[in-house]
Structure 1
C-alpha cells in the first residue's frame, strides 16, 4: 500500500489531521569529466610527481576533484598514469562515505578502462585511487587519445545515511497549487501575470530549508536544460504534480531565480539585493546554465569587493569560472596596502590559501622578486603550486596494482 493510499484509508476511518514521514537510506550521485587537451605536451611538462586536477565539483554536500598525474605520482609509478578522487573541505563538511568509479573515455565517449571503489570513507582531506592506473605505453592514440585529448570520467555516489522525509498529502498539495500565487512580484509584467491567472502551476519546488514554491513545468524546461533534465528525473504524483527537490538554495534566492526565469529580467536593482543573495544567485545561474543571470550577478559582485569580502569572493569566482570577477579581485589584491590588510585579518590568508590556490600563487609570483626562470626554477614553482593545493604523498591513501 502506498503512503497516499494509507492516509486515505486512515482519513476514511475518521482521522482528519494526519501527517506522515518515511525513513530510508539516501544517496546522492554525480559525475564529472576532466579533459586534458594536448596530453602529449602536458606529459612533457609534468614531471613524475606533478599533478593536474579538475575544478571542484559537488556531490552529496561535499566537494571533490579528479587528480591526474600524467607521469605517475611516485618513482614506483613512473611510466604509469595515476588517477585519484580527492575529497576537499573535510573540516567544513565532515567525513564522507562514497562509492566511485574512474574511467578513461574512448573516442565514442564510452568508458574503455575503469577502476571502481566500493564505500570508501574519506575522513581527512586526501585522495583515493590508483597510482598505476594504466601504463603510458598502453595509451592508444586513436582509442584513448583522440586528437591528443585524454578524457577522464568520475562517477561518485555519496552515502547520505538514514533520513526521514515528510510525506506530502498529494491531493492537498494539488489543491494548494491551483490557487498558489506567484512567489515573486509580477506587477507590470503582463505576460507572466496572465500565465499565473490562466494556468495552474504543476511543479512544487521543495527547498532545503523546508519552504515550497510553485512553478510551471513548461516554463522551467524552456528556460534551462538543466532544469529540464532534473524535472525528467523528479517524481510525479497521481495528481500530475511534479515534486522538484532543490537542496542548497534558500527561499530568497529561489524567488529571485524564478523571477528571472519568468521575466528574463534581473532582480530589481542589484545594489538593493543582499550580498548573500547575489552570491546564491550566481551559484544558481551557473548550476542551471543561465548565462545572462550569471553575468548580471558577476557584475554586481565586482562592485562589492572590499578587504572583508575579497578572499571569499575570489574563491567563489574561481569555483564558478567567473574571469571578470577574478580579475577584479586580483587587481584589488595587487595593491600592497589591500593585500596587507587581507593577510593581517584573522582568516583572510587561510581563505586565500585553501579557497583559491592558483590566484594566490599568481599573486605571490607577481609580488616576489624572482630570478630569470630556469628549468629547475620552473620545477620549484610547480612544486609550490602542488603544495598550495594541499596534497602530499604523506597524507594520501591509494590502491596499488
Structure 2
C-alpha cells in the first residue's frame, strides 16, 4: 500500500500603517481641563480603526502640569493584537523621536487595554514647551501601528511532493557579469574597463537597446566610452541591471557617502531609463531627508523629473518655519538658489499658500 504524508502551513501576516496628527494654536488649548481631550481623525490599519488622543491639560487631576498623548482602538467590542510607536517630531531636524513604544499585545476596546499607553503617558508641560518639538505654536505627533492579522492556514499538500528550489537567475547573471564570460562589449569609464553583454543590457534598458540594436554608432562597436560618470556608479548600475538589486553598501540608507552614491545612481538610472532603479533610489532618498541633505535632493528631483520626490522635499522644507529657517541657513540651499532657482520659487510659493490658508 502506498504511503504519503500531508502538510498544511500557518502564515502570520503583519500590516503596518502610520498616521500624522498636527496640532496648531497650541497656546489656545491650554485652558482645557484635565481629562478632556482632542481626538485626531480616525485612520485604519490592519482592518481596525484607530485615533490619537491629545490631552492638553493632562489625563488626570494629578497630572495637570503635563500633557498626554494616547493611541485609541475605536472599534466597539473588538480586540486587536497590535504594537505601536508614538513619536513627537523634532521640528529642527524634521525627524520623529519615540516617546512611548508598545510591543505586540492585545488591545481590547472594552477596557483600558484599548489605549496605549495603559498607564498614562505624561510629558512635563514646561519641558515640552521649551523643546524643539513645539515651534510657532505647532507640534506634530506621529504614530506607527503594526497589526497582526489572523493567521492563515493553507490547504493540504503532499509532503512527499517535489518542490522547486528558489529562483537563482540573478546569482547566475551576476556571476556572468563578474566573470566576463561571453561578453561582447567593453565600456571605458574614466580609465576603468567593464565587460558586459549587449543582449542583457538591451533587455533591461531601452537606451542600451537603441545603442546596440538600433542605428546608433555604438551598434557595431566593441568599445564604448562612458562620459560624465564615476566608475563606481557605472559598476553599481551594471550590478542592478544583471541582478535587480543594489550592491552591498554598509548602512546604505544612512551613510553620507552612500547617500551621494544613491544620488549618482538615480541620475544614471534616469540616463539609461532603468525605471525600477530610479524608483528605488527615490525611495531611499525620501526616507532619509534631513536639513542638510534636502536641498541637494530637491535639485536632483527637479533635474531628473522625479515629481513625487520633489513634492516630498518641498513638504519637508515647509513643514514648519524652524525647519525652513534651518534649511535656508545651509550651504546646500545656497547652492540650490544658483543651480535650481525654480525649486526656491516653488518652495516659497508653497509657504505662501500655507500661510494664506
TM-score calculated relative to the size of structure 1: 0.41
Using the size of structure 2 for normalisation, the TM-score is 0.45
